[in-house]
Chains A and B, each alone.
Chain A
Amino acid sequence: MLKIAEKEFTSRLFTGTGKFNSSQLMEEALIASGSELVTVALRRVNMHNAEDDILLHLKHPSINLLPNTSGVRTAKEAVFAAQLAREALETNWIKLEIHPDPKYLMPDPIETLLATEELAKLGFVILPYIHADPVLCKRLENAGASAVMPLGSPIGSNKGLKTIDFLEIIIEQSNIPVIVDAGIGSPSDAAKAMEIGADAVLVNTAIAVAGTPVQMAIAFKLAVEAGRMAYHARLAKQGNHAIASSPLTAFLDE
């Protein structure tokens, strides 16, 4: 079972709350996905309003909130936002997103590391969103992150696992869970990420903007389960065709 900071998860599909055409549909899709960890942008919710439409639709026994800091540009702003989220939403979990580049929303590795160091001192469970950078992942692990969330491709791009070679290195080296975040455009992408050994994936746009989000949520749920099962069953190696003759080593049998 997946464990992050002592918390166990049955589902390895994490989801987001943006881009849905209504809060009602969002709730239905998230429930259908079986997701137990759902990220929500602080900027979209009214943290001090108990009647906030998004938050009301996320009140469900199986759903744990993962507030994110989307919109901040520096470590200082991120730490401030995380503290407010902890107070208002009563969770010390934070998805650390620092993207000073509002066009491609590329995460800032330097500010993210600084914020992780600071938030760890303050007792947060930190899940940083970052590039698929193996060295950065190790640095974040040492700084106190509870998991790392490398991107598959630019956020919202639906381009799939463009960073797969680096994700494989990260997965091989990591002592904390690796959650592939951003860019997963289809259930097959999610299955692929799970097959190479990711601990979980986070999907938002591909579900929210699908023609039928509820069905797509179920498709992702199944794909993540299938991918994980394939990982455990150990995939047969992709082989070349059998070699008929052995011109280099035949002499050994002569």
Chain B
Amino acid sequence: MNSYKNLFESYSWDDVKESIYSKTKNDVENALNTSRRTLEDFKALISPAATTYLEPMAQLSQKLTQKRFGKTIQLYIPLYLSNECTNICTYCGFSLDNKVRRKTLTEEEILQEVKVIKSLGYDHVLLVTGEANQTVHVEYFKKVLNLIRPYFAQVSMEVQPLDTEEYIELIPLGLTSVLIYQETYHKEDYKKHHPKGKKSNFNYRLETPDRLGQAGIHKMGLGVLIGLEDWRTDSFFTALHLNYLEKKYWQTRYSLSFPRLRPFSGGLEPKVEMNDKELVQLICAYRLFNEEVEISLSTRESEKFRNHCVQIGITSISAGSKTNPGGYAVEPESLEQFEISDERSPEMIAAMIRSNGYEPVWKDWDKVIC
């Protein structure tokens, strides 16, 4: 298959890293003063040289975001279906070697969870699982999509990577969007963090967005887990991936997310710390690089940080999230995948969005569009 892998392998991690770290203030200013920005401009904007340009970057980012998305922020909520997992991932609460009680929601339990989620006002839902192909497989997903489709305008999925044919089966059942995070584009490090299970296959994951594009998905989400490797270099490879996909699968929309490693019981300490200033820099750099990409920010981030980010380039936000299967109604006390930081209710988040001068949007899709 001709895929991103071919392009990806023509780059060297070390060369890219060196190129980013050698960008100068002059490069940053050129990147700020142009209207169509290239990957080289993006490198300048994420480089250490750009850290003193945060305010002009944020102002430009705000303007571009408002032009495209208006003064609106979309709301979504995750629905964890299962924490069964056959992978070992060093940073994840659901990792095979982590001693937690495993649970996959039954149809009846899913409906209990849906009832609570609907009462919070949501119309966009994100289904999340670990990877357990024996029990949580495409037949299970088909069952779930058929079950919940009547309740939601938009259904997204963040589950194990699937084959093209499987995506083709799921899309007509109401699957609008799939999030597939590479975790890190550093191949050797990826192997260290994913020593066991199907997820240890770097290339299969790397080529998942290509399979989604071929299946004709409406929207896909990209990103890396920040904290595993140098975030600047990882972000370059994400931008390269985005650029490649937009040109090849031009009928698909794209979104980005930048989860920072959060603590869980017995978990991994981040190898690379990214501070709040750097995350703002990254959000703005992506917006300046790509005016159309959607950017979401999860409850991993703090209240204060999220309050301010609404105005500088993000387009969607989650609220009231539970990261354990059954967390809303069935088993609220079970162990979470990671600790969330912003624990405010959806209602409070909507009020926060309004007080920023933005409209909270609960519905921006419809079952009729498929």
Residues in chain A within 8 A of chain B (CB atoms): 18-23, 42-47, 71-73, 77, 80-81, 84, 100-104, 156-158, 205, 208-209
Contacts and interface: CB of A to CB of B under 8 A. Distances in A.
Contact of A158 (B67, B219, B368): B67
A100 B251 contact: yes
B368 A81 contact: yes
Contact of A81 (B358, B363, B364, B369): B369
A43 B292 contact: no
B252 A156 contact: no
B253 interface: yes
B164 interface: no
B370 A102 contact: no
B365 interface: yes
Interface centre among A21, A22, A47, A205 (most CB of B within 10 A): A21
Contacts of A72: 369
B173 interface: no
B365 A43 contact: yes
Contacts of A45: 363
A240 B365 CA distance: 54
Contact of B368 (A22, A73, A84): A84
5 contacts: A73-B251, A81-B366, A100-B250, A103-B246, A209-B71
Contacts of B123: 46
Contacts of A158: 67
A42 B191 CA distance: 45
Interface in B231-281: 246, 250-253
Contacts of B251: 73, 100-102
Interface in B311-348: none
Given A42-B366, A44-B363, A47-B366, 8 more contacts: A19-B69, A20-B359, A45-B363, A46-B153, A81-B366, A100-B251, A102-B292, A103-B250
Contacts of A46: 123, 153, 363
Contacts of A42: 366, 368-369
Interface centre among B71, B219, B358 (most CB of A within 10 A): B71
A17 B8 CA distance: 42
Interface centre among B69, B252, B369 (most CB of A within 10 A): B369
Contacts, number: 76
B354 interface: yes
Nearest to B63: A209
Nearest to A73: B251
Interface string B62-85: 000011111110000000000000
7 closest A-B pairs by beta carbon, nearest first, are A19-B70, A21-B71, A102-B253, A71-B369, A43-B366, A100-B251, A103-B292
B70 A20 contact: yes
B364 A44 contact: yes
Nearest to B369: A71
Nearest to A155: B68
Given A19-B70, A158-B67, A101 B368 contact: no
Contacts of A103: 246, 250, 253, 292
Contacts of B250: 100-101, 103
B366 A208 contact: no
Contact of A20 (B71, B153, B364, B370): B71
Interface string B146-162: 00000001000000000
Interface string B55-67: 0000000000011
Contact of A44 (B69, B71, B361): B361
B365 A21 contact: no
B357 interface: yes
A134 B252 CA distance: 29
A49 to B, nearest CB: 10
A18 B70 contact: yes
Given A21-B71, A103-B292, A205-B70, A43 B364 contact: yes
B67 A209 contact: yes
A208 B369 contact: no
Contact of B369 (A19, A47, A77): A77
Contacts of A81: 366, 368-369
A20 B71 CA distance: 6
Nearest to B154: A43
Nearest to A100: B251
